[in-house]
Amino acid sequence: MLMMKKLKIAVIAGDGIGPEVISSGKQVLSGIAEMSKAFEVEFTDFPYGCEYYKRTGQMMEEDGLEKLRSFDAIYLGAVGAPGVPDNISLGELLLKIRRGFDQYINLRPVKLLKGAPCPLAGVKTEDINMTVVRENSEGEYANVGARLYPNSPNEMALQTGVFSRYGCERVMRYAFELAKRERKSVTSISKGNALGYSMVFWDQIFDEISREYPEVETHKLLVDAAAMFFVKDPKRFEVVVTSNLFGDILTDLGAAIAGGMGLAAGANLNPERKYPSMFEPIHGSAPDIAGKGLANPLAAIWSVSQMLDFFGYSDWAKKVLESIETLLVEQKTLTPDLGGTAKTEEIAPAILDIIARR
């Protein structure tokens, strides 16, 4: 008899609303494993996060990356809590994993589902449907810099952006391959008019890679204008490729125009599959609503859909996304950020119910 594939998932629920939304996502993935009979899923929980830091002085174990390495994927909630400096909590866990596992693609869909609230006037559902390919391993996040002359009148901080040819080329090629497959355009977002080294280099490499894909329509925008067009004319964007920091900022804006932080998912991919990829909602630990059952787990559930896609279960990935859309259209079981009164824990059963009904 053929052995059924077992997906081994490392779970880092993390801080604040992380554990609340991850619990919902796990339920959905387990439910799908049962329904599909195509695979089994085995979760291994890791206690890493700010509580762990307060107890041990570290965000994860010394050999944390080695422990995570053998898993098929990592499913992460959110990291960050009052009392622990954000640069430590994120730098030594989330960013350490992204960098350590060379997850150089951060794939963030900005797609307005039917029934999702949109603050923009005159926008149709189909007008907001883009995939942001955010560079996820270097750029402004390279963590290269220095603090000089601390506690003196001339103290200073230096933070250097790192843009390598290798790093730019690989993220751009990924974007072009995606666009080619899906017959979409690619828009590069940069800032060559002010950042005369890094972004001029980015633009030059984008032109070079564009020439390898003559069949793909391309556009180039400065990031300030791009932010304006996200609001004024989002339908011009299909596949977007941009640097680490610009991608971070633009995808919160993307979340805002496509239903809110409770609906925005992201996949940190190592496309070569040399290391595990990591799936997460893009929102943070939301200390303002943590522990109250108010968190919307749909972003975490959408990242389950991304995980299914990555593992090749595209039909199930699609079903998850369609079930989120149905939930939004029916307007019966929604959390307060979407105008409903449902608790976090009511969402996963409602999603599984919709999938089972189809």
Question: What is the DSSP-derived secondary structure letter of residue 2?
Answer: P
Q: How far is the CB of 16 from ligand IPM (least distance, A)?
A: 12
Closer Cβ to ligand IPM, 159 or 331, answer by number: 159
Task: Draw the binding track, 72-91, toward ligand IPM (x: CB under 6 A; -: no contact).
Answer: ------------------x-
Q: At what angle do helices 18-36 and 314-330 cross, to 10 degrees?
A: 120
DSSP assignment string, 53-102? HHHHSSSS-TTHHHHHHTSSEEEEEE---TTS-HHHHIIIIIHHHHHHTT
Closer Cβ to Mn ion, 64 or 247, answer by number: 247
- Candidates 118, 265, 282, 294: give the one binding ligand IPM (CB under 6 A): 282
User: What would the two tokens of residue 344 be?
Assistant: 């976090």
Residues 241-270, interacting with Mn ion (CB under 5 A): 248
- Taking the C-alpha atoms of residue 358 and residue 347, their distance in angstroms, rounded to an integer, is 17
- Residue 262 near ligand NAD by CB under 6 A: yes
- Is there a contact between 301 and 25 (Cβ–Cβ < 8 Å)? yes
Residues 94-113, interacting with ligand NAD (CB under 6 A): 94
- Residue 79 near ligand NAD by CB under 6 A: yes
- Candidates 248, 309, 337, 346: give the one binding ligand IPM (CB under 6 A): 248
Q: How far is the CB of 328 from ligand NAD (least distance, A)?
A: 14
- Pick from 283, 205, 332, 315: nearest CA to 21: 283
Q: Of Mn ion, ligand NAD, ligand IPM, none, which one does residue 78 interact with (CB within 5 to 8 Å by kind)? A: ligand NAD
Closer Cβ to ligand IPM, 39 or 174, answer by number: 174
The 10 Å CB-count burial string (b at 16+, else e) for 283-313 is bbbbeebbeeebbbbbbbbbbbbbbbbbbeb
**Rule CB under 5 A: which residues touch Mn ion?**
248
